[in-house]
């Protein structure tokens, strides 16, 4: 067990030392995806604003009794888009990188961190739109915004572990690509992205409390809307993160060197 963990830690340390590689690759990915477009990566901002505006307009009744419903949706959608893209893209990560994995000796963590950086860059454009909606909604800048940054850091810290687990799942259980993709589409409606606890049904109350994604949304959203630090939700997210990292390290240490033979 100790050797397994040490192998995983060594892989991650090597990957972090090669940060110039995965940062540049992530930037190149974003540029390539929008190379022939007029707006370039700013389409990411346009897409976010279009979704946020549509959700606020269409689902306004879901938060009819709530003040600053636009800010509620904007923050929830910002976090959810990052989570959804990260998990959906991660299932096929090692399969997409097959040629690199078989043809180079790069640590697997390089591919994981590359995806984290890519999703973070994309989320950065959405963040600009989210801040704009918050200001237009009358949310004043205060201490709560700084607490929200803590929540974002926690989300980012958990991301590599979630990506690693999903990537291994995609290698050893290929059908998981379709299962996870469909699950995340449905999960958007089972997670309080645009509906509120107060205005929802008893069934949705269960989804609110037993859905782990809820707490990752709330550690970013609650500080902005209420100005306080949601310690309970933050504690749950940290606990989930520790479990995910424990599983990720075990998988990386035990299966990392075998991935090339299964993709």
Q: What is the pLDDT of residues 86-99, one digit of tens each?
A: 999 999 999 998 88
**Span 184-191, mean pLDDT?**
90
Tell me whether residue 194 is in a domain.
yes
The pLDDT of residue 251: 94
Tell me whether residue 106 is in a domain.
yes
Tell me whether residue 188 is in a domain.
yes
Q: How confident is the model at residue 215 (pLDDT cuts 50, 70, 90)?
A: very high
The pLDDT of residue 144: 83
Cα(93)–Cα(32) distance, integer angstroms: 18
Which range marks the domain in which residue 169 is found? Answer: 2-11+21-27+39-261
- Statement: residue 254 has pLDDT above 70: yes
The pLDDT of residue 257: 83
Question: Is the CA virtual torsion 14, 17, 20, 26 positive or negative?
Answer: positive
Tell me whether residue 165 is in a domain.
yes
The pLDDT of residue 100: 85
- Statement: residue 238 has pLDDT above 60: yes
Phi, then psi, of 105 in degrees rounded to 5: -110, 25
**Span 3-29, mean pLDDT?**
88
Tell me whether residue 16 is in a domain.
no
Q: What average pLDDT does the chain have? A: 88
The pLDDT of residue 2: 67
**What is the number of structural domains in the chain?**
1
Tell me whether residue 34 is in a domain.
no
Residue in the structure block whose two tokens are 């606020």: 56
Q: Which residue has the higher pLDDT, 17 or 202?
A: 17
Tell me whether residue 33 is in a domain.
no
Q: How confident is the model at residue 65 (pLDDT cuts 50, 70, 90)?
A: low
Distances (CA, A) of 111 to 29, 97, 166, 250: 12, 8, 13, 17
Phi, then psi, of 28 in degrees rounded to 5: -65, -40
For the chain, give the percent of residues with pLDDT over 70: 95
Distances (CA, A) of 84 to 78, 123, 163, 168, 182: 10, 11, 11, 17, 11
């Amino acid at each position: 067990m100790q050797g397994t963990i040490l192998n995983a830690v060594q892989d991650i340390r090597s990957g972090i030392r090669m940060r110039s590689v995965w940062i540049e690759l992530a930037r190149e990915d974003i540029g390539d995806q929008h190379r022939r477009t007029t707006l370039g990566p700013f389409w990411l901002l346009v897409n976010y604003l279009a979704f946020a505006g549509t959700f606020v307009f269409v689902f306004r009744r879901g938060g009819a009794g709530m003040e600053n419903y636009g800010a509620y949706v904007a923050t929830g959608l910002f976090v959810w888009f990052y989570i959804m893209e990260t998990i959906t893209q991660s299932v096929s990560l090692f399969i997409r990188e097959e040629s690199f994995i078989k043809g180079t000796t790069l640590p697997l963590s390089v591919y994981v961190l590359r995806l984290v950086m890519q999703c973070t860059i994309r989320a950065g454009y959405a963040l600009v739109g989210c801040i704009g909606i918050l200001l237009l909604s009358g949310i004043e800048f205060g201490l709560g915004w700084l607490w929200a940054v803590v929540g974002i850091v926690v989300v980012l810290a958990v991301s590599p572990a979630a990506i690693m687990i999903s990537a291994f799942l995609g290698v050893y259980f290929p059908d998981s690509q379709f299962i996870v993709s469909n699950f995340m589409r449905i999960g958007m409606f089972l997670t309080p992205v645009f509906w509120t606890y107060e205005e929802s049904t008893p069934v949705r109350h269960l989804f609110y409390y037993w859905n782990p994604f809820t707490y990752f949304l709330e550690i970013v959203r609650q500080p902005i809307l209420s100005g306080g630090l949601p310690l309970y939700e933050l504690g749950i997210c940290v606990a989930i993160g520790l479990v995910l990292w424990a599983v990720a390290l075990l998988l990386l240490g035990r299966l990392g060197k075998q991935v090339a033979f299964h993709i």
